[in-house]
């Protein structure tokens, strides 16, 4: 049985993975170096590990976000709230493990995790919009508006 039995599944996987890697490599570098106080070597290690981990989690996150965003109304405040909830609830635990494995400990680990939590609260909607834009470039519908499922 092929991993992606339908071409749309493969396209959705590539779109969601591209969006996650581009967006969060940039924001991760900022958080790790300037908030968590990690060395550039630790940041490089965290970003390489992060990119490797983003590949298997990008599409599951995209599906999670689509599911969470079904609760949002068309009001901007609602979309801001639900995009932030989706991002924080899925990505913060993974991010904390990445920076701990990459050398952050004690106060740096706490600051890095709290910094990531705050960044993801703020970046939830911008990332959601970026993800929808990348999906559009790949010819896919935006998430949360027209939910994509594994059965489509």
The contacts of residue 152 (CB under 8 Å, 6+ apart) are 6, 8
| Nearest alpha carbon to residue 141 among 16, 30, 3 | 16
pLDDT band at 147 (very low <50, low <70, confident <90, very high): very low
* 50 domain residue, yes or no: yes
For the chain, how many structural domains are there in total?
1
Helices 106-137 and 40-69: angle between axes, nearest 10 degrees: 50
**Could you give the C-alpha distances from 10 to 44, 67, 120, 132, in angstroms and in order?**
29, 19, 27, 16
* 149 domain residue, yes or no: no
* 76 domain residue, yes or no: yes
* 143 domain residue, yes or no: no
- 144 has pLDDT over 70: no
pLDDT band at 5 (very low <50, low <70, confident <90, very high): low
Average model confidence (pLDDT) across the chain: 86
DSSP the chain: --SSSSHHHHHHHHHHHHHHHHHHHHHHHHIIIIIS---HHHHHHHHHHHHHHHHHHHHHHHHHHHHHHTT--SSHHHHHHHHHHHHHHHHHHHHHHHHHHTT--HHHHHHHHHHHHHHHHHHHHHHHHHHHHHHHHTT-PPTTTS---TT-
pLDDT digits (tens, 9 = 90+) for 88-135: 999 898 888 888 888 888 888 898 899 889 988 999 999 999 999 999
* 86 domain residue, yes or no: yes
DSSP 51-88: HHHHHHHHHHHHHHHHHHHTT--SSHHHHHHHHHHHHH
Percent of the chain with pLDDT over 90: 54
What residues make up the domain containing 100? Answer: 7-137
Can you give the pTM of this predicted structure?
Answer: 0.77
- 145 has pLDDT over 60: no
* 55 domain residue, yes or no: yes
Cβ–Cβ under 8 Å, residues 112 and 104: yes
* 35 domain residue, yes or no: yes
* 87 domain residue, yes or no: yes
């Amino acid at each position: 049985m092929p991993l992606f039995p339908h071409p749309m599944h493969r396209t959705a996987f590539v779109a969601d993975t591209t969006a996650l890697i581009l967006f969060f490599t940039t924001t991760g570098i900022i958080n790790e170096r300037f908030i968590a106080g990690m060395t550039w070597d630790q940041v490089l290690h965290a970003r390489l590990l992060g990119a490797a981990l983003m590949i298997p989690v990008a599409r599951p996150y995209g599906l999670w976000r689509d599911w969470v965003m079904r609760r949002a109304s068309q009001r901007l405040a609602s979309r801001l709230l639900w995009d932030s909830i989706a991002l924080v609830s899925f990505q913060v635990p993974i991010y904390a493990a990445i920076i701990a494995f990459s050398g952050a400990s004690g106060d740096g680990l706490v600051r890095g995790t709290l910094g990531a939590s705050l960044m993801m609260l703020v970046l939830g909607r911008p990332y959601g919009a970026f993800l929808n834009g990348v999906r559009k470039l790949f010819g896919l519908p935006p998430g949360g508006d027209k939910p994509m499922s594994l059965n489509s």
